[in-house]
Amino acid sequence: MYYKDAAPPFYSFQTLLDMADVRESLRALFASPQISAFPLRYFVMASRKPGVFNLGGDLAMFADSIQRRDVATLRAYAHACIDVVHGLYLTFDLPIVSLSVITGQALGGGLEAALADDYLLAETDARLGVPEIAFNTFPGMGAVTLLTRRLGEARAEEIIASGRVYSGQEMYDLGVVDVLAPPGEGHRQATAWMNEGGPQRFARRLAIASARRRFFPVPHEELLEITDLWVDCSCDVSAHDIRHMQKLAAAQKRMLQRH
C-alpha cells in the first residue's frame, strides 16, 4: 500500500478513510473465491514521497479545532486514527504478515501507524520519532501502548518524553526496527526480506506475530482511552503551542506543494 501521490504527507481524514477502504477490500478478497487466484502473504505499508514516510497528524486541523474549542471534530479524528491503527495491529484479522518500510521521515502518527505493523524495516538514515512534546502534548494514537509492548515502560517513556527524532540505525539498536536497509534500498530490501526462506519463513513470521498479539494484546478500548486523554490534553495547550502547530502545518503544506 502506497499513499496516493496527491495525498498530503500526513494523515488527513481522507487518507484515514482510504486506509480503511484498503482494509475492507482485503477482507472481502479473503472472503471470496478470488483469493485462490491472488494469494497474499504480506501486506506492506510504504511511501513513494521522497524523504517522507508520513509526518503524522493533520496539524492545521488540530490547531483550528483547538482554537474553536471543537472537541467533537478532534475526537472524531482521533477515533478514526485508532480504528486504522487497531486494524493494522490485528493485520485486519487475516492470516498475513504486515511490514512497514520507512524511508525518510516517520514522525508522530506516521511512526505510530508503522509500529502497528508486525515488522518494521527502515533505511539507516530514516528519521523516526514522536515529537509531540514540542507543543506540550503526547503521541495519542498508539505510541504509548505499542512502544511499551516492544520496549518496556521505561524505554518507551524515555522516547516519548524526550521528543527526540532518531535515525533508523538508532531505532534498530534500540529494538524498535526489525530490519535495516542502506539509504535508498528500503523497497528493494523489503522485497528480498519477503522472498527469503520461502513458505517456511513466512509461516514462522506469521506464528511469531500471532503469538505476540496473543500474549501482548492491544485492546481497542485501551487505545480509545489513551486517545481521549490526548484530546483532553490537546485542548489545554497554550496559544504559543497552537502557533507552533500552525508553523509546522505550514511546513507540511509547502512539502505537499513541492511534491
C-alpha cell at 226: 489513551
Give the residue ranges of DSSP H helices in the chain: 13-30, 59-67, 71-89, 109-115, 143-151, 153-162, 168-174, 186-195, 198-215, 220-234, 239-258
Residue from 255, 239, 244 nearest 67 by CA: 239
Query: Percent of the chain, pLDDT > 90?
Result: 91
CATH fourth-level superfamily of 13-22+38-254: 2-enoyl-CoA Hydratase; Chain A, domain 1 (3.90.226.10)
Q: Which amino acid is at 17?
A: L
Task: Kindly list the strands in the beta sheet with 165-167, ordered across the sheet, starting from the edge strand earlier in the chain.
Answer: 52-54, 105-107, 127-129, 165-167
- Give the residue-averaged pLDDT of 147-168: 96
pLDDT band at 257 (very low <50, low <70, confident <90, very high): low
Q: Where are the domains of the chain?
A: 13-22+38-254
Instruction: Give the per-residue pLDDT at 5.
Output: 76
Distance between CA atoms of residues 27 and 160, nearest Å = 33
Residue from 119, 121, 125, 129 nearest 102 by CA: 121
Instruction: Give the per-residue pLDDT at 228.
Output: 98
Query: Percent of the chain, pLDDT > 70?
Result: 98
pLDDT band at 6 (very low <50, low <70, confident <90, very high): confident
Distance between CA atoms of residues 21 and 202, nearest Å = 25
C-alpha cell at 99: 511490514
pLDDT above 90 (res 98): yes
Query: What is the average pLDDT value for the chain, to the nearest integer?
Result: 95
